[in-house]
Structure formats: structure tokens, C-alpha cells
Structure 1
């Protein structure tokens, strides 16, 4: 048997492999520190009982829950109401976005009708224009609608949800359309031979196979609506109707009376629903189409 090769006799690619691994680990550590530092800074500011950012450069120099207590028990700022409003609007928008987007994507993917290709092209072209261009139009439109149907007019959650649905329907439909096309049409044909219609095929077969994209769309819709500030600040006027993003901005809008520790505490609490939803949907996001078909 030949003696084991020494390091000098190893190929150059194998000798460089440990250095490449070390460089990758070093880059990962630097990137992680760069991403985690803002989070640690916000958490340190939230635990600062003084109510200011003075001394926050020293992380966790003083720790206390006074900021969270002031935030929850404040009579001036209804934080719990803002939090509840954001949850209701975010979850409702996410659920309706998934349902309506899936219906539209199934129609574009499985059915052939007049205007199908122009419709798909229109969905893409609409997404080219930023939402800020429609702020004035949205305000005027909701004002006029509110005079006829006050329940979905200005300063209502239903009106804000309608705006979010209209803005997200195009991109969500296009995302789902590409995923629906990967589902073999033979499954639909086999079910229709047995007497199933489009509705039964959609609810009993297709939705189970496209669970990953449904989870992704739900998560993106919830994050976008839960963190939105511009549209929510235009549509919602009363303090008890506003969302968390708008309410937190009000807390620091006046620099002379800004409670930055309470603001940071609110930001920390606002991240909890997003993280919780991501952890809940993680198994669906990482699940593949094949696994869904086997099940």
C-alpha cells in the first residue's frame, strides 16, 4: 500500500479548500453582525428606562421594562388599539389576497378565454407604476365612495383593505400563475373524467399542491400591509382607527415630546406577529410541489 499523501503532494485545489471555507465563515460572521446590530440597538433602546436615546450607544447599559409599561398603559397613545387594528387589517388582507389571487391565477392558468394574454400583460404593466402615484386618486375615490357607502369609505378599515387588495392582486396573481403552470394538467383532466368541475378541482386538488406559493403570498401580503405607513396615514384619520405604523410615527412626530424608548418598545412588539407568522408558515414555504402531490 502507498503511504498517505502529505500536504505538499495534495492538489492545489484541495490545499486551498480550508482557506476558502475560512473565508466563507468570516464573511458569514461579518454579514450576520451587520444584520443583527440594528436589531440589538433597537432592543437596547426599548429596554432603556430613561425614555431617550442618550447613552444607547452602550448596548444594554441600563435594562428595564418601563418603556413597555408606559406604552401599554398610556392614555395619550392607544397602542393596544393600534396593534389590534394592524392585526385585523393584515390578516384579513393576507387571507383575501391569497384567495382572490388563487382564483385569478387558476383562471389564467387553466382556462382559455378572450383577453387572457392582454390581461396577463396588463397585470405586469400595472406593477410598473409605484403606489405613491395613486395616493391622491385613492383619497378622492374613497371620499366619494364614502358618501354613498360609508362602510368602505375614507377612515374605515374596509376601505383600506380594499385599497390593499387592489394594489396586491396583480403581483400576487402573476406569482401564483407561474406556480400553477407547474402543476400537471393531467391531474385536472383525470378529475374531470370522474365528473369533477372546475370548482372541485380547484378546492380539492390544486390548492393542496400549490400550498408553498400560497404561504409565500400570505406572508408577503401580511408584512406589506402590517408595516405600511403611507397609504394607511392617508386613508385612516381618527386615532382609534389608525394602524401601528401610523400610531408609532405619531409618538415621535414632535421631537420635543418624543418617547424614543416607548417607540423602540413598540417596534419590538410589532415584530412579534411577523416572526410568529413566518415560523408558522415555514414548513409550507420549504415544502415542495412533489411532497404536496405525494401527500
Structure 2
């Protein structure tokens, strides 16, 4: 008949070996993994509470935040219905057009410049890369006065590119983002094996065919990241849009929503919260759509070793 013995230390502590092993395992799990769940939970609460508060304020009655201290204490759609009596949807249209065109232009221009710097060897290549690196160190805010004076003078010659022009705002966005995005894409393009280019050229492909049909497909993750960042940046920008767009019908969402709460005596926070909730939807949908490209592999399956 088999007998089980209990070690003296375990017996003195009143624990069986299995209980001791479970305690050690629990402490190890907490030290290696458990505390991370606590930190993640606190981070989710910290990031999610402002979102819940804004959503609650958008459904609250009245135009102040005092009635939103209790989350979802009152639920009404008056704030959303009131948006139809404003220029809100015109601002949404302006913002989507500006952000979409800026994102597409940034991706196309940045990818073309990055491909040229990565694949071609020409005079001034190193100087151009260094210049891009230096330019991206200075924030675009430093050029506010220069941009304003430039558009003011340019509007006398080409009104479509002067102040109060959405096209002019797009051009400013494209110029400001070209340097940093080109340098970002350049490093990504360098990771694509040049043997793919050479193999395609042997088969008779031109530089344009290599670029459009091979390279761009392999660098789709960085294109998605740059497009998403460019869209979000121009979608939420306030300073440049406020500087250039002067008439109410040309305002973007950031400028228009700010005007509703700029005057504290007549601030309508309920209307502002409703507009903020709706304006967040395009960004969330775009992020969900591009997520598979962002997390996708770079050249998975393109080269067999």
C-alpha cells in the first residue's frame, strides 16, 4: 500500500505540497502577467471615460454640461436633430473632401518621391534626403505668417489658391506633410528587395509598371499608415483651417464646432458634443478598414528562399 509523506516544513505551515505549489504558481502569474491586466484595465477606464462622457452629453437635454454629471441620466435626440438647422453637414462635407484629397495626394506624392530616392541614383540625392530630414524637425506652426502672406498675395493672381479657398488649404497640407512622409516611406521602400525590380525588368517591365504593379502592393502597410495619419491630421486640424478658411460655408468641422463654444456665455455644449460624436465616426471607420493593411506583412510570400 503506497503512502504519501509530507515534508516537515510544509507540515509545520499546515499546507500540503499541492497547496504550496498553487500559491507559488499564483504569485508567479501575478508577477509576470497579472499586474498587466490591472494596468490595462486602468488605461481603458482612463481613455474610455471621456468618450462616454461626451456621448452622454450629446444625449442630454439642454446646452450645458451640468446636466451630464450623471452618465446617461437623460437620453434625448434633440441635440442631433438640432444639427439639421445649422451648417454642420456642410462642414462635414468640406472636411471629408479636404481630408480625403489630402490623404490621397500625400500617399501618391510621398510614395513617388520615396521610390525615386530609394531606387534611383542622381545628383543631389543625399542632399535632398538630408534636407527632408532637417525640414521635418521644424513644426508647421513656424510658417503661419509666411503661409498667410503667401496666400494673400497669391489670391490676387490666382483666386482659387488664395485665402478662403479649400484648394489652397489642401495645398498647404500637402506641402507640410511631404517631407516627413517621404522620409518615412523611404526607409520602408529600402526594405523591399531590389531583386524584384530586376526580375520584372528582365521580363520587360518598365519603371512605371514595376512601381504601380509590384512596389506599391508590397508597401501597402506604410501607404495605409501614411494615408490614415494624413487623413486624421487634416480632419482634426484647427489652426491652419481657421487661418485660411474665413467664410462660414467653407469652414471645416474643427472650426465650426469651435465657434459653438467659443463664447462661454452662449456656449452650446450639447450641440458640440453631438457634432463631436458624429465627426468621430469617419475616422473610426477608416481605421477599421485599414487595420488589415496596417498589421499585414511587408513582403510575405513575395520572395522564396
Answer yes or no: same fold by TM over 0.5: yes
User: Counterpart of 2:160 in 1: which secondary structure?
Assistant: helix
Superposition misfits of 4+ residues, deviation over 6 angstroms: none
TM-score, normalising length: structure 1: 0.94
Match of 2:197 in 1: 188
Match of 2:27 in 1: 16
Give unmatched runs, 5+ long, in structure 1: none
- The alignment status of 1:71 with 2:71, answered yes or no, reads no
Deviation per CA, 1:243-295: give whole Å up to 9, x if none: 0000001111111111110001111011000001001111111111133737x
- Which of 19, 25, 40 does residue 28 from structure 1 map onto? 40
- The alignment status of 1:293 with 2:305, answered yes or no, reads no
219-228 or 52-61: bigger deviation:
52-61
Give unmatched runs, 5+ long, in structure 2: 5-16
**For the Cα contact (< 8 Å) 2:192–2:299, is it kept in 1?**
no
TM-score, normalising length: structure 2: 0.91
Match of 1:174 in 2: 183
Instruction: Work out the CA distance in 1 between the residues paired with 2:143 and 2:219.
Output: 32
- How many residues are matched? 290
Deviation at 1:98, TM superposition (A): 0.2
**For the Cα contact (< 8 Å) 2:129–2:183, is it kept in 1?**
yes
**For the Cα contact (< 8 Å) 2:98–2:234, is it kept in 1?**
yes
17-26 or 229-238: bigger deviation:
17-26
Match of 1:110 in 2: 119
User: Counterpart of 1:233 in 2: which secondary structure?
Assistant: helix
146-155 or 263-272: bigger deviation:
146-155
Compare CA radii of gyration and give the structure with the larger one.
2
Match of 2:255 in 1: 246
- Which of 271, 282, 289 does residue 262 from structure 1 map onto? 271
Deviation per CA, 1:24-75: give whole Å up to 9, x if none: 111111110000000011111111121111131211111111011112223x
Alignment of 1:37-116 (within 5 A): 37-74=49-86, 78-116=87-125
Instruction: Work out the CA distance in 1 between the residues paired with 2:300 and 2:278.
Output: 35
Deviation per CA, 1:167-212: give whole Å up to 9, x if none: 0001111111111001000000111112222111100100010000
Deviation at 1:107, TM superposition (A): 0.3
Deviation at 1:6, TM superposition (A): 2.8
Deviation at 1:9, TM superposition (A): 5.3
Q: How well do the aligned residues superpose, as a CA RMSD in angstroms?
A: 2.0
User: Counterpart of 1:293 in 2: which secondary structure?
Assistant: coil
User: Counterpart of 2:122 in 1: which secondary structure?
Assistant: coil
Alignment of 1:133-152 (within 5 A): 133-152=142-161
